[in-house]
Amino acid sequence: MLEGMRKVSQGWAGRIFMGLIMLFISLSFLVWGVGDIFRGFGSGKVAEVGKTEISSDAFRAAYQTQLQALQRQARRSITNDQARAMGLDRQVLNRLISEAILDDRARELGLALSEQEVGKSIINDPAFAGPNGKFDVTRFRDLLRDNGYTEQTFAREQSRSALRQEIVEALVGKLNTPTALLEAVHRYRAETRAVEYFDFGASAAGEIPAPSEQDIQTLFEARKASFRAPEYRKVVYLAVTPAALAKPENVSDADAKALYERVKGQRFGAAEKRELEQVVFADEKAAADALAKVKAGTSLADVAKEANLEVAALGTVAKTDLFDKAIADAGFSLTQGGVSEPVKGQFGWALVRVGSISPESVKPFEEVAADLKRDIATERARKTAMELRDKIEDERTSGKALADAAKSLDLSTNLIESVDATGRNPSGATVDMPERDALLRAVFASDIGADNDVLSSREGGFVWFEILSIDPARERRLDEVKDQVIATWKDDEIAKRLTDKAVEIVAMIKAGQSMEDAAKAAGVELKRDDKVRRSEPSSLPQGAVVRIFGLPVGDIASAAGEGQSRIVFKILDSVTPPMEADSDVMKSLGDQLRTALTEDLVTQYLAALQSHTGVRINEAAVRAIVGGDTGSF
């Protein structure tokens, strides 16, 4: 909360700019790191940056605030171990270090902000404005008290933040994107080339004979690493999901029909729509008098005109589209062309008229009853899943293995005999498992006997796992992978023959043969693409596009195609439209480049300051706050 309060209360407009810069600084630290790491600090501080200290309390508050924000975003609990795996501890500490470096630099430069300026910034901060839009001293003091600030400490933090902003703005505040850079990027993005091309596949390589034993042995020895067996793990897991626990057969028809009535228009077809219009009168009597005239044969439009009132068209709407329930009920109780009795709506007494009616068109209940019952049962099972999670965790806490914990609750575990980090078994088949990506990452970050955290599934379920055994990566023998080696040898031979053929064709075209005749000789179709760009999808693979833009107009060459195919092409033309500096596209590009330049300058500046200032981190204090091994900062 304290950290969030400090961010919110940075009032004037430049703080937005400063926030972006601090993000860049934080990211840049992950690239170039901080140095002079050592142990042996007192427990009250996590780092020293020059003469500036980062206290354990400040780091703990910042870390917890960021962790809570991450949990809200993910909508699930995140443990310290998971947060460390994401690098959250490093990100938070690096941001605090970057701020401390700027604080130390401000001190060296003798920068200061008067109490009057600090006070003015606080008074003008919208975070402290009351209902009248002006500074509210009671709100100000309440917020400070709730977030652990005194007026003095908050003012000091505001002053530090402003001085950091001044330093960074002095460095990059007036930075403009160079025109030469804009033009270069424009040329790169906008240049369009026209090419003629044709491609030929593996069949053009002819019959590939079987390799000799010596060929097989030679290839195997040269690429032995590519034929290594990856690490495989034997895993037992327990998945408790609402879908698996759901019992649609226990859902009554009445419950399913109730859900059907609520959602049928949105899920199973189109709801009834009506063309409605209304006239609002001064009071109930005026509306009743108007209705009498309508019943006597006068149109509602003429009655409204006579009373100098407007006929308001509500459009062709579904009943749920109308926010005024009384008007909706009246309009959808009439027959086509009918006019309602006086209705007390939100804007006064009204008459409602129905024009055309589009009846609802939905699937009958019988067709969708099974789906509805499954949905209801799945939603009900979420509570059961939560209850089972607590019971399983209790069983595991008591020391039971996962299989025993599941058995005690009449649940069944699943066994994966062997899986690698890509989710395949030794035969190369994909292994079926719940929450595939998350479970694989967790399995290969764990070890035998480790107490693993439960994984949350997307639909509100849970997955537990244990590592039973690990088969380390190893070099395979030739007899184990001989078929793979032979297939690789044949692929290499096809690629060599196709490359030689492409070189031969290119030479013939350069000697005078036309592209059309060359394509006919190869037995393929000549194609043309006049809109080849570097940054847009094309009829050509990306590798060929890169080669096309690396050669001059008029050149003829070849490139790898899809799969084992080769492409022969001729560059016919190149067009680059003039740059329109005032267009929205170029202004947006200029902003993007300015941001990138800003990030680069700030990164270099902070790197120089860090080398000059010196940074020391108390790893023991960091571990005490976030747990585990922090690794190298």
Task: Tell me the per-residue pLDDT of 386-423, one tens digit each, with 9 for 90 and over.
Answer: 889 999 999 988 889 999 999 999 999 999 999 999 99
Given this model, what pLDDT does residue 40 score?
Answer: 44
pLDDT band with cut points at 50, 70 and 90 for residue 527: very high
Give residue 470's pLDDT: 95
Can you tell me whether residue 136 is helix, strand or coil?
Answer: coil
CATH fit for domain 272-359, picks 1.10.540.10, 3.40.50.720, 3.40.50.300, 3.10.50.40: 3.10.50.40
Ramachandran sector of residue 399 (left: φ over 0; alpha: ψ -120 to 50; beta: rest):
left
Q: Which residue has the higher pLDDT, 628 or 99?
A: 99
Are 360 and 265 within 8 A, CB to CB? yes
- Answer yes or no: are the C-beta atoms of 353 and 338 closer than 8 Å: yes
- Of 378 and 511, the one with more pLDDT: 511
- How many angstroms separate the CA atoms of 447 and 469, rounded? 9
Spacing of C-alpha 338 from chain mean position? 52
What H or E segment, with its residue span, contains residue 361? strand 361-362
55-63 contacts at long range (C-beta below 8 A, 24 or more positions apart): 56/621, 56/624, 56/625, 58/96, 59/92, 59/93, 59/96, 59/621, 59/622, 59/625, 60/625, 61/1, 61/2, 61/3, 62/3, 62/92, 62/95, 62/96, 63/88, 63/89, 63/92, 63/625, 63/626
What is the arithmetic mean of pLDDT over 603-615? 83
Is the pLDDT at 35 greater than 50? The verdict is no
* Among 103, 101, 80, CA closest to 29: 101
The neighbour count for residue 21, using CB atoms within 10 Å, is: 24
Residue type, 561: G
Nearest alpha-carbon partner for 309 in 354, 271, 347:
347
Distance CA 29, CA 632 (A): 12
State residue 43's pLDDT score: 55
Residue 218 has pLDDT above 60, yes or no: yes
Give the pLDDT band of residue 81 (cuts 50, 70, 90).
Answer: confident
Most confident of the ranges 116-120, 171-175, 377-381: 377-381
Q: What is the pLDDT of residues 422-453, one digit of tens each?
A: 999 998 899 999 888 889 999 998 899 888 88
pLDDT higher than threshold 50 for residue 164: yes
| Answer CATH for 232-248+367-471 from 3.40.720, 2.60.40, 1.10.10, 3.10.50 | 3.10.50
- Name the residue with higher pLDDT: 314 or 10: 314
Three-state DSSP at 404 gives helix
Q: What is the pLDDT of residue 423?
A: 93
> Which H or E element spans position 483?
helix 478-510
At residue 321, the pLDDT reads 80
Per-residue confidence (pLDDT) for residue 42, from 0 to 100: 53
Instruction: Reduce the DSSP state of residue 401 to 3 states and report it.
Output: coil
Where does the pLDDT of residue 629 fall: very low under 50, low under 70, confident under 90, or very high at 90 and above?
low
pLDDT in tens, 298-308: 999 999 998 88
CATH code that applies to domain 2-175+594-626? 1.10.4030.10
Share of the chain above pLDDT 90, in %: 39
What is the rounded distance in angstroms from the CA atom of residue 535 to the CA atom of residue 288? 68
State the virtual CA torsion across 534, 537, 538, 540 in degrees, nearest 10. 80
The model's confidence at residue 41, banded by pLDDT at 50, 70 and 90, is low
* 618 touches 47 (CB < 8 A): yes
- 258 forms beta bridges with none
pLDDT of 3 > 70? The answer is no
Q: What is the mean pLDDT of the chain?
A: 85
pLDDT digits (tens, 9 = 90+) for 333-371: 999 999 999 999 888 899 999 999 988 778 888 888 998
Confidence class of residue 36 from pLDDT cuts 50, 70 and 90? very low
The answer to whether the beta carbons of residues 518 and 568 sit under 8 Å apart is yes
CATH 3.10.50.40 domain residues, the chain: 272-359
Confidence of residue 537 (pLDDT cuts 50, 70, 90): confident
**Mean pLDDT calculated for residue range 531-539:** 88
Q: What is the mean pLDDT of residues 597-605?
A: 85
Average pLDDT over residues 482-492: 94
Confidence of residue 75 (pLDDT cuts 50, 70, 90): low
| pLDDT score of 612 | 81
Q: Where in the chain is the domain with CATH 1.10.4030.10?
A: 2-175+594-626
220-233: average pLDDT: 92
- pLDDT at position 17, please? 42
